[in-house]
Amino acid sequence: MRDTYLWLLQLVTGSLIIVFLAVHMVMMHLDNIVGFFGGHIDEPSFWSSMIDRATKGWWLTFYISFLALVLYHALYGLRGIVLEVTPSGRTERVVTGMIWAVGLGAFALGVYAPVHLFTR
Amino acid sequence: MRAGSPRENYLGVRGWVWAGRYDLERYLYTLHRITGLGLVLYLFMHLTVMAIVRGILGEGAYEDVIDFFEHSVFKVGEYVVFAAFIYHGLNGLRLIFQELGFLLGKPKPPIYPFRDSLRRRRPLALGMMGFVVVMAAFVLTDFAKGGP
């Protein structure tokens, strides 16, 4: 039953990532297309634009939520593939432990910069 | 009689590509895995670079890195990542619809000549792949105009 809920969470995070990623990609990369539809985005990769976003609580919440969703989806998917290609079922506990360690480390790494910039 | 082990017919990574008569959906699934693995790799590189240059090194290093990634080789790579996102996202959505039984029509009793599940799934797969191509072409126009 636990695996069913974890799989369901994989489907939910996958669906939410499509929405979050679309916002991120349009903001960061598709300014020409936004301009075509009459919108305007200041050059998003400039340091000043990045700092402007980093000091807004809304963007901080957005990026931390996005990071959590992406890490769960990516690492649960990776765990499934690793368990499939691992010759023995006995390795499951080791693989799950490693995935947890990598996930927590990556979350701490990913959260560090936005929180540092928000609070400085 | 000994119970069969689920690993007896296990083909490993080779089985992703060929184990007999695979259909279109099986290859879409293989490509889903390959793009997924590529995106995981990109995610960790992106997280590491952004954490170091934004959180530790500061403005000068950040602008140097942004300038460095303006090179056309990285622009092509960026588009490949973008296309992989589009494929993985839309094909994933198709798999979710399929798993939850959306867009597959109402269940019918299996009375001959019945439409089997594959024939119900195929239009969804083809439609979604058409959408992937349109989206990838749409984004390509932005890159061709010299997007950031």
pLDDT for the residue numbered B70:
82
* Interface mutation vs chain A, best among B5, B43, B135, most A CBs within 10 Å: B43
Instruction: Give me Rg for the CA atoms of chain A.
Output: 18
Q: pLDDT tens-digit profile of A50-104?
A: 888 888 999 999 999 999 999 999 999 999 999 888 767 678 889 999 999 999 9
Q: Using beta carbons and an 8 Å cutoff, which residues of B are at the interface with A?
A: 7, 12-13, 33, 36-37, 39-40, 43-44, 47-48, 50-51, 54-55, 59, 62-63, 66, 78, 82, 85, 89, 92-93, 96, 99-100, 138-139, 141-142, 145-148
Instruction: Answer whether A74's CB lies under 8 Å from B43's CB.
Output: yes
The span from the CA of B49 to the CA of B65, in Å, is: 9
Instruction: Answer whether A51's CB lies under 8 Å from A117's CB.
Output: yes
Residue A19 in contact with partner chain B when CB distance is under 8 A: no
pLDDT, mean of residues A100-120: 92
Mutual orientation of helices A57-85 and A2-28 as an angle, nearest 10°?
Answer: 130
The span from the CA of A44 to the CA of A65, in Å, is: 20
pLDDT for the residue numbered A109:
93
For A25, counting Cβ atoms within 10 Å of its Cβ (0-12 exposed, 13-18 middle, 19+ buried), the class is: middle
pLDDT for the residue numbered B2:
47
pLDDT for the residue numbered A77:
96
Residue type, B12: G
The span from the CA of A75 to the CA of A95, in Å, is: 11
Question: Is residue A49's pLDDT more than 70?
Answer: yes
Selecting from B82, B85, B147 the residue whose C-beta is nearest the C-beta of A31 gives B147
pLDDT for the residue numbered B133:
94
Mean pLDDT score of chain A: 88
Hey, what are A3's tokens? Answer: 């695996």
pLDDT for the residue numbered B47:
93
Greater model confidence, B1 or B102:
B102
Confidence of residue B80 (pLDDT cuts 50, 70, 90): very high
Provide the residue ranges of all domains of chain B, joining segments of one domain with +: 22-105+112-144
Taking alpha carbons only, the member of B92, B58, A27 closest to residue B66 is B58
The span from the CA of A34 to the CA of A20, in Å, is: 17
Chain-centroid distance of CA A55 in Å reads 19
**ipTM summary value:** 0.88
Question: Is residue B148's pLDDT more than 90?
Answer: no
Question: Is residue B113's pLDDT more than 60?
Answer: yes
Q: Fold for A2-119, please state it.
A: 3 helical TM bundles of succinate and fumarate reductases (1.20.1300)
CA quadruple A42, A45, A51, A55: dihedral, nearest 10: 70
Confidence of residue B3 (pLDDT cuts 50, 70, 90): low
Q: Fold for B22-105+112-144, please state it.
A: 3 helical TM bundles of succinate and fumarate reductases (1.20.1300)
pLDDT for the residue numbered B147:
56
pLDDT for the residue numbered B8:
67
Percent of chain B clearing pLDDT 90 (strictly above): 37
Confidence of residue A107 (pLDDT cuts 50, 70, 90): very high
Taking alpha carbons only, the member of A66, A31, A81, A74 closest to residue B30 is A81
Out of A6-10, A113-117, B79-83, B141-145, least confident range? B141-145
Note the pTM of the prediction, 2 decimals: 0.87
Question: Is residue B68's pLDDT more than 80?
Answer: yes
pLDDT for the residue numbered B1:
41
Percent of chain A clearing pLDDT 70 (strictly above): 97
pLDDT, mean of residues A105-119: 91
Which stretches within chain A are classed as H helix?
A: 2-28, 31-36, 47-54, 57-85, 92-119
Region of A38 (left: φ > 0; alpha: ψ -120 to 50; beta: rest) is left
The span from the CA of B30 to the CA of B36, in Å, is: 10
